[in-house]
Amino acid sequence: MTRLKRAERELSPEKTEAILDGAMQEFLTHGYAATSMDKVASTSKVSKATIYSHFQDKEGLFKALIHRLAERKQLFAQEALQDSLLDPAACLRQYAHCMLNNVGNDPQVLTFFRIIIGESGRFPDLARTFVESLEKPALMMLTQYLAEHPDVTFPDPEVMARTFVGTMVHFVLIRDILQSGDILPMEHERLLENLLALILRSEP
């Protein structure tokens, strides 16, 4: 057994979480480019060799944070859509509230999103990992729900899913990520209820 595989096997869940928590703290404070593995090791209270043996490099560590966030987002998306026979308006309303509560109201997640957006020009692979791991599964889950629910019929469920998610993402982008809700004020309930009316009224 190689040293790398032995290190991966022996790294406990607690130590993995300690490394990810320390890395998140450093990335949020310094950004991606300015974060050093030395500082992550110090903050996590583990050796730098342990971090390298498990995550290979800084990019691997950042991607692990994206995957952890994706797992959490998929859980709340599944929870919102778990009852496939529930009234579509109720499911979509719950889905939107979960998005707002788990993204728009979480300063740590918002700062992490700002880092991904800000670094996407220099490190496009990080942004692509974010879309592949986090945005795509949630969008496809909602598309499947809209395609299979017996009470709704859309010519293109994926377009409806993108319309719904895109509107809510834009709301979070303006209000929370860009901190400009006072420039384009909008109550989220007003937006959501009118959006639901438009989407559900668009059935053929």
**CA neighbor of 38 nearest in space, from 59, 20, 52:** 52
Do residues 146 and 81 lie in contact, with contact meaning Cβ atoms separated by under 8 Å? Answer: no
What fold does the segment set 66-201 form as a domain? Tetracycline Repressor; domain 2 (1.10.357)
pLDDT digits (tens, 9 = 90+) for 139-164: 998 999 999 888 888 999 999 999 99
pLDDT digits (tens, 9 = 90+) for 49-79: 889 988 989 999 999 999 988 888 777 777 7
For the chain, which residues make up each domain, given as ranges?
A: 1-56, 66-201
Question: In whole angstroms, how far apart are CA 135 and each of 1, 68, 85, 103?
Answer: 37, 13, 24, 13
What fold does the segment set 1-56 form as a domain? Arc Repressor Mutant, subunit A (1.10.10)
Q: Is 18 exposed, middle or buried (0-12, 13-18, 19+ CB in 10 A)?
A: middle
pLDDT digits (tens, 9 = 90+) for 76-104: 777 777 765 568 898 899 889 888 887 87
User: In 3-state terms, what secondary structure has residue 80?
Assistant: helix
Q: What angle do the packed helices 48-55 and 37-44 form, to 10 degrees?
A: 110
**What is the spatial distance between Cα 64 and Cα 3, in angstroms, rounded to a whole number?**
21
Residue type, 92: L
Alpha carbon of residue 101 to chain centroid: 12
